[in-house]
Amino acid sequence: MLQACTRVGTGQPDVSPDILSEVNRIPAIDNHAHPVRFVLSGPADREFDALPVDNMEPQSDPVQLRPTNPGVLEAWRSLWNYPYDAITPQHIAEWRQHKLQILQDKKDTYPAWILEKLGIDIMLANRVHMGTSIQPPRFRWVPYADSLIFPLDNSGLADTNPDRKAFFTLEDGHRQQYLSEAGLSAIPRTLDEYLHLVVTAALERHKQNGAVAEKFEIAYLRPFGFDKIDRSTADKVYSAYATKSAPPVMEYKQLQDFLFRYIAAECGRLGMAVHIHTMAGAGSYFDVAGANPLLLESLFNDPDLRKTKFVMLHGGWPYTREIAALLTKPNVYLDYSLQSLLFPPSDLAPTIKHWLEYVPEKVLFATDAYPYSDEIGWEESGWLASRRGREALALALTIMMQNGEISRARASELARMVLRENARLLYGF
Ligand SMILES: [Zn+2]
């Protein structure tokens, strides 16, 4: 019998305690997160993101990312045995010492110790580089590929707005790093050389070093909509502008589109998935309409890319219904990272339910644990997202059972699929 009752006055069922406790016990595979490396002294780790979002122009912060969010206090209590009723500047200073002490005790085992607290078995670490404290089997690497599709002079794109200016400065730095790893100081003269000496070489290096996917946060840099461009057109644009100033926007877009599909195809060949940020993102200039997952459809419909597994990170909010329609493509998946942090379980549960009613094998649990602020580090955001993401899943399953859509046994099965089995099959863990 279903152990759910209706929350007084809301008409919405309470989560079944039985399902919730089962969901809470499943050691999860977190499809997307940014764990921070243990550093005892010297400069802080900045490689948790290729485009750290802490240097952007001010925006109106989502309420869950404000230190006043009561969930932050809960996270502190659970993670650090924090004894107070509020988080004050004085307590932050005190707690910093407390946390430092834990870090000094745990050293390189600290990030994995946090995973235990979060109930996470394996975390996909979306980072520029890994480190001794962030290593398999608990952490699996997802490096960044964006800078590879912007090989030319990016000053025109950087002029779009102040955030893009900061982002393209960072991307130019990343590309320079890929070039120097290839033993080059500038991009080669021909596209052919660029593809082989720089792009494929970087992807193969990533694979060799344990990468399970390549990440694109390209929605921060330009709208989706990657057309199928023939090689000769891409060759022409590349050769015309390899040593010149910024190319015209539309011609550069053709080269970017070609490179995006080239990288996607190479990832398929190398057995790496392609992760794409698919949700409204940070910052006051983020192009929400340009991140509509439906703009990825031509990519997913390309017969030449069917060997590549695409994972739409963050479940496409606000296009959570549109994104569901893409799940029938055999090589397309999604996770609900970040939504698990930004939206309460009562709001996220109907979204998860809708996906589970359509193609449940393609739905993945994830946190997007990220160091947002002094109050909300990757530990706190990971804890909150893990807890709420599980609650939302348990609530979705409760409602489906109450509606007579699934049995109790199927609820257990779906819980395991979302929390780990779907990801295990996708990555071959
Ligand atoms: Zn992320």
CA 126 to ligand 1 center in whole angstroms: 7
Q: Residue 426 burial (CB < 10 Å; 0-12/13-18/19+)?
A: buried
Q: Which pLDDT value is given to residue 192?
A: 98
370 CA to centre of ligand 1 in angstroms: 7
Confidence of residue 4 (pLDDT cuts 50, 70, 90): very low
Query: pLDDT tens, 119-169?
Result: 999 999 999 999 999 999 999 999 999 999 999 999 999 999 999 999 999
Residue 85 CA, ligand 1 centroid: distance in Å:
30
Q: Are 59 and 283 in contact (CB under 8 A)?
A: yes
- Report the percentage of the chain scoring pLDDT > 70: 97
Q: What is the pLDDT of residue 12?
A: 62
- 261 pLDDT above the threshold of 80: yes
Ligand 1 centre and the CA of 251: distance in Å?
30
How many Å lie between the centroid of ligand 1 and the Cα of residue 383? 15
The pLDDT, as a whole number, for residue 327 is: 98
What is the 27 CA–ligand 1 centroid distance (Å)?
Answer: 21
CA of 337 to the centre of ligand 1 (A): 8
193 C-alpha to ligand 1 centroid (Å) = 32
Res. 273: pLDDT tops 60:
yes
Ligand 1 centroid, distance to 48 Cα (angstroms): 9
More confident residue, 54 or 1: 54
What's the gap in Å between 33 CA and the centre of ligand 1? Answer: 6
| Cα–Cα distance for residue pair 86/94, rounded to 1 Å | 13
Average pLDDT over residues 81-103: 86
pLDDT for 9: 47
Phi, psi of 277 (to 5 degrees): -60, 120
Q: Could you say which DSSP state residue 328 is in?
A: G
CA of 125 to the centre of ligand 1 (A): 9
Bridge-based pairing state of the strands 139-142 and 213-216: unpaired
Ligand 1 centre to CA of 377 (Å) is 13
Contact partners, residue 368, CB within 8 Å, separation at least 6: 32, 33, 34, 313, 314, 337, 338, 340, 341, 381, 385
Give the residue among 290, 332, 326 at the shortest CA–CA distance from 426: 332
Q: What distance in angstroms lies between residue 352's CA and the mean position of ligand 1's atoms?
A: 19
State the distance from the centre of ligand 1 to the C-alpha of 342, rounded, in angstroms. Answer: 13
Can you read off the two tokens belonging to residue 217? 């946060």
CA of 190 relative to ligand 1 center, distance in Å: 33
Element (H, E) at 335: strand 332-335
**Could you please report the per-residue DSSP string of 284-325?**
TT--TGGG-GGGGHHHHT-GGGTTSPEEEEGGGTT-HHHHHG
The pLDDT of residue 269: 98
CB within 8 Å of 193: residues ≥ 6 apart:
none
User: According to the model, what pLDDT value does residue 304 have?
Assistant: 96
Expressed in angstroms and rounded, the spacing between residue 118 Cα and the centre of ligand 1 is 17
Distance (Å, whole) CA 278 – CA 33: 14
Q: Which residues are within 8 A (CB) of 249 and not within 5 positions of it... i.e. 6 or more apart?
A: 156, 157
DSSP assignment, residue 27? P
pLDDT at 3: 42
Q: Provide the b/e sequence for 72-92 (b: ≥16 CB within 10 Å).
A: bbebbeebeebeeeebeeebe
What's the CA gap between 194 and 280, in Å, rounded? 32
Write the DSSP assignment of 122-154 as a string of letters.
Answer: EEEEE-SS-BTTB-TTTEEEE-B-GGGG--S--
Spacing, Cα 95 to ligand 1 middle (Å): 26
How many whole angstroms from 17 Cα to the centroid of ligand 1?
30
Give the pLDDT confidence score for residue 43 in this predicted structure: 85
Mean pLDDT of 189-206: 98
Q: How many beta carbons lie within 10 A of that of residue 304, not counting itself?
A: 11
Return the minimum-mean-pLDDT range out of 48-62, 134-148, 234-248, 335-349. Answer: 48-62
Query: Encoding tokens for residue 320?
Result: 């959570």
What is the Å distance from ligand 1's center to 314 Cα? 8
Give the pLDDT confidence score for residue 50 in this predicted structure: 86
Q: Is the pLDDT of residue 1 over 60?
A: no
Kindly state the average pLDDT of the residues 320-344: 97
